Amino acid sequence: MSEQAVAFDSATYRQTMGNFATGVVVVTGLVADQPIGFAAQSFVSLSLDPPLVAFSPAKSSSSWPKIRESGHFGINILGEDQRDVCVGMAQSGADKFANVQWQSGLTGAPKLQGVLAFIECSIEDEHDAGDHTIVVGRVQDCTRADSDSAPLLYFRSAYGSFV
């Protein structure tokens, strides 16, 4: 059976992938005493032994190259009440930390106030992945909130939570 060339519809692909609900995180770093961050939904736990996580910043990201220089990053897992934080961190060119309370973690990466969990990592590896990069991080420290708050979710281009 021969394969026929099929025109690929990237809009349909994007809409199809939007049917996979994801959590939302903010990736942070501290560069020259300046907090840097961006929102991401492409985050996953990879391994328990050794403890590894991964996320995928767009190659067009202006924040990731700055964070990469530090050799460390933080993953802030957002709660359902942090939609505004996520929207702010998704903006380009703005002072993303103007209205965000944070403290330095073990590696210096900013831990945002009110997150469900915070994971600090050293950069283990990077892999080319089309218009994104897959960043693998080795977990150095992790903490979770002592609350029953629900996560901020992203589904079909909209934010939501458990009901």
pLDDT tens-digit series, residues 101-142? 999 999 999 999 999 999 999 999 999 999 999 999 999 999
* 17 pLDDT tier (thresholds 50, 70, 90): confident
Rounded to the nearest angstrom, the gap between the alpha carbon of residue 81 and the centroid of all alpha carbons in its chain is 17
* 4 pLDDT tier (thresholds 50, 70, 90): low
User: What's the whole-model pTM score?
Assistant: 0.91
Pick from 51, 37, 50, 70: which is nearest to 119 by CA?
A: 51
Domain range annotation of the chain: 22-160
The matching CATH number, chosen from 1.10.2020.10, 3.40.50.740, 2.30.110.10, 3.30.460.80, for 22-160 is 2.30.110.10
pLDDT score of 117: 97
Indicate if the pLDDT at residue 1 is higher than 80: no
Report the 3 state secondary structure along the chain. Answer: CCCCCCCCCHHHHHHHHCCCCEECEEEEEEECCEEEEEEECCEEEEECCCCEEEECCECCCCHHHHHHHHCEEEEEECECCCHHHHHHHHCCCCCCCCCCCEEECCCCCEEECCCCEEEEEEEEEEEEECCEEEEEEEEEEEEECCCCCCECEEECCEEECCC
| Model pLDDT for residues 44-102, shown as the tens digit of each residue | 999 999 999 999 999 999 999 999 999 999 999 999 999 999 999 998 877 899 989 99
